[in-house]
Amino acid sequence: MISTVAIVGVGLIGASFALALKKCGFTGRILGVSSEGALRAGLESGAIDEGCSLESAVPRADLIYLSQTIHRIIEVFPALDGLVRPGALVTDAGSTKQTIVSAAGRALTKCQFLGGHPLAGKEQRGAVAADPDLFRNRRYVLTPTGANDLETPGAAEFLEWIKRIGAIPVVITPQEHDRTVALTSHLPQLASTALAAVVAQHIGSDESLRVSGTGLLDMTRLAMSPFDVWHEILATNASSLERALQIYIAKLEQIRQALDQPALRSDFEAASALAQKLRS
Amino acid sequence: MISTVAIVGVGLIGASFALALKKCGFTGRILGVSSEGALRAGLESGAIDEGCSLESAVPRADLIYLSQTIHRIIEVFPALDGLVRPGALVTDAGSTKQTIVSAAGRALTKCQFLGGHPLAGKEQRGAVAADPDLFRNRRYVLTPTGANDLETPGAAEFLEWIKRIGAIPVVITPQEHDRTVALTSHLPQLASTALAAVVAQHIGSDESLRVSGTGLLDMTRLAMSPFDVWHEILATNASSLERALQIYIAKLEQIRQALDQPALRSDFEAASALAQKLRS
């Protein structure tokens, strides 16, 4: 029975998860472990009930929710193993999974770890932007590595909470997760960044830049994401992403050689069908 | 004095231009030359006053506004030259300019031609989607080739109407237009189409496809554009676009080799600055 939750990293995701739990009927205690400013914001919004050190929060918690950056998550594992209550569930919300799941496998010997990735977010960051409905109708990926990982009491109850907060669980392996998001999330980001970088470099005047339509706006929205959000994601998914970029570059090269060929129609048709399926 | 306008191609752009003229005080006559269905829609919306054949419309018109597809525009030039009234102005709304402007230069001997490209549009097509405010606050590119092209009575009056309908005129050469839109419009289209085509090919299951965020939606909106809208644009701007694709591919290749390098930060920063400038 999950009665105490420790949110480690009280940012947008951690604070939203806490608010979502409370909105959906969780009556236990939620402890926050984070910087002073984040704890203050988390307490003010009612996301957390108490700000604690890692050392005081983890031994009390049945669910430890790691919502820091990828490297911070990996760094905290060794300390967790000495603090965690047997039977507790440790989960995370990191954007790549293989690196985190294998680090957890090496470091955590006394409790279960279940990798997670909620496909939710918004442009504002931090606990001040937290929203109890952030996960509603969004996919929440879980990446168990053992056959019974979702059937332990802690995992089964956590899965119930994911559903109660309105998210749609998707169960895949860490490898499949990373390969998929390389194509569906990280490649779109780099396609946008590269496009904006190229336009910045080759369109000299602001006046010429205005000779553009709404398409360029769509295609450069992601380019506004800061590098600090992305560098750990890109670095910890480099091999899947290298492959995704190779595939994308090959397709662009093929298009470049067929600009006046009717064969280009099949790419437009496949692309249009995919874009419409995404919206259905 | 422009008192009769012939709209050749009563589609979204042609019918919107006619409606915009009327809304902004044009009291002359607007003739439409188009397919039967388009003429009916244009008459119903009040965009045109009369549906005509090319042979009956052109000799009566002071301004001939060509808003067909690029190839149709080029095909109509030879016939125009035998019909047009001396002193009339012929202009067009084609999305690429070098091919059209040079074809006009060869074919039109009896009247002035001024290339144009209104950067306006919407997803629906045809005269039924026409909107008198379509051009408001949008750039309207004009591509004169002679020093005094904008100072003839017809061109000066046409330029006044462009401003009256709320558009912002931009005067550049056909070459500069095509080089610019290759980067700001055609490359974004192909970046989106290639991305969606690659995702379609490499993400097997619909369930995996759901493991994506809003970024993929942004980056695949353009991919819904039909090939029929694009194939003439791509074919008539192939050399600028090949160069734009080369530059884009080179940038992606450079990023691919630096996924775990801090050097990637400078691309993210340049991209973000450009994306913000576009929105300012």
What is the average pLDDT score of chain B?
96
CA distance B237 to chain A (A): 9
Is there a contact between A245 and B223 if contact means CB atoms under 8 Å apart?
no
Question: Read out DSSP for B9-26?
Answer: S-SHHHHHHHHHHHHTT-
- Which residues share a beta bridge with B2? none
**B27 to chain A nearest CA, in Å?**
31
Decide if A234 and B276 are in contact by the 8 Å CB cutoff.
no
Amino acid at B234: L
B50 phi and psi angles, rounded to 5 deg: -160, 135
Q: pTM, whole model, 2 decimals?
A: 0.93
Report the C-alpha gap between A188 and A167 in whole angstroms.
23
Adjacency order of strands within the sheet including B63-66: B50-51, B29-33, B4-8, B63-66, B89-92, B112-118, B139-143, B168-171
Of A184, A213, A241, the CB nearest to B119: A213
CB contact under 8 A, A208 and B269: no
Given this model, what pLDDT does residue B59 score?
98
Q: Which of A123, A193, A232 to mutate to test the interface with B (most CBs of B within 10 A)?
A: A193
Q: How does pLDDT run along chain A (280 residues), one tens digit per residue?
A: 999 999 999 999 999 999 999 999 999 999 999 999 999 999 999 999 999 999 999 999 999 999 999 999 999 999 999 999 999 999 999 999 999 999 999 999 999 999 999 999 887 889 999 999 999 999 999 999 999 999 999 999 999 999 999 999 999 999 999 999 999 999 999 999 999 999 999 998 888 899 998 899 999 999 999 999 899 999 999 999 999 999 999 999 999 999 988 889 999 999 999 999 999 8
Tell me which residue in B225, B247, B278 faces A217 most closely, judged by beta carbons: B278
Q: Which residues on B lie below 8 Å from A230 (Cβ)?
A: 268
Q: Mutate which of A209, A224, A261, A269 to test chain B, going by most B C-beta atoms within 10 A?
A: A224
| Percentage of chain A modeled with pLDDT above 70 | 100
pLDDT grade for B121, boundaries at 50, 70 and 90? confident
Which one-letter amino acid corresponds to residue B132?
P
CA angle A23, A28, A34 (to 5 degrees): 85
Instruction: Give helix B238-256 / helix B187-202 axis angle, nearest 10°.
Output: 50
Position B263 confidence tier, pLDDT thresholds 50, 70, 90: confident
For the segment B182-204, what is each residue's pLDDT rounded down to a tens digit?
999 999 999 999 999 999 999 98
Tell me if B30 sits within 8 A of B22, measured CB to CB.
Answer: yes
Q: For residue A210, which residues of chain B lie inside 8 Å, CB to CB?
A: 139, 168, 170
CA B153 to CA B159: how far, in whole Å?
Answer: 10
Closest-CA residue in chain A for B203? A180
Residues on chain B touching A278 (C-beta within 8 angstroms): 209, 212, 216-217, 220
CA dihedral A124, A129, A132, A135 (to 10 degrees): 20
Per-residue HEC secondary structure of A51-107 comes to ECCHHHHHHHCCEEEECCCHHHHHHHHHHHHHHCCCCCEEEECCCCCHHHHHHHHHH
pLDDT of residue A262: 86
From the list B185, B202, B251, which residue is nearest A183 (CB)?
Answer: B202
Rounded Cα distance between B1 and B157, Å, is 7
Mean pLDDT of B144-156: 96
**Segment among A191-195, B69-73, B205-209 with least mean pLDDT:** B205-209
* B201–A227 C-beta distance less than 8 A: no
Q: Do A270 and B121 touch (CB under 8 A)?
A: no
Confidence class for position B10, pLDDT limits 50, 70, 90: very high
- What was the pLDDT predicted at B274? 97
What confidence tier does B213 reach under pLDDT thresholds 50, 70, 90?
confident
Q: Do A276 and B224 touch (CB under 8 A)?
A: yes
Q: Tokens in use for A230?
A: 């992305």
User: Which chain A residues are within 8 Å of B221, Cβ to Cβ?
Assistant: 215, 218, 275
What is the rounded distance in angstroms from the CA atom of residue B23 to the CA atom of residue B41?
18
* Closest CB from A220, A256, A269 relative to B278: A220
Rounded distance between C-alpha atoms, residue A247 and residue A271, angstroms? 15
Each residue of A101-144: pLDDT tens digit?
999 999 999 999 999 999 998 878 899 999 999 999 999 999 99
| Subunit contact B252:A249, Cβ cutoff 8 A | yes
The yes-or-no verdict on residue B123 having pLDDT over 80 is no
**pLDDT at residue B33, as a whole number:** 98
CB B191 to CB A189 under 8 A? no
For residue B13, give every residue at least 6 positions away whose Cβ sits within 8 Å of its Cβ, in sequence order, or none.
Answer: B67, B93, B118, B120, B121, B134
Residue A33, beta-bridge partner list: A8
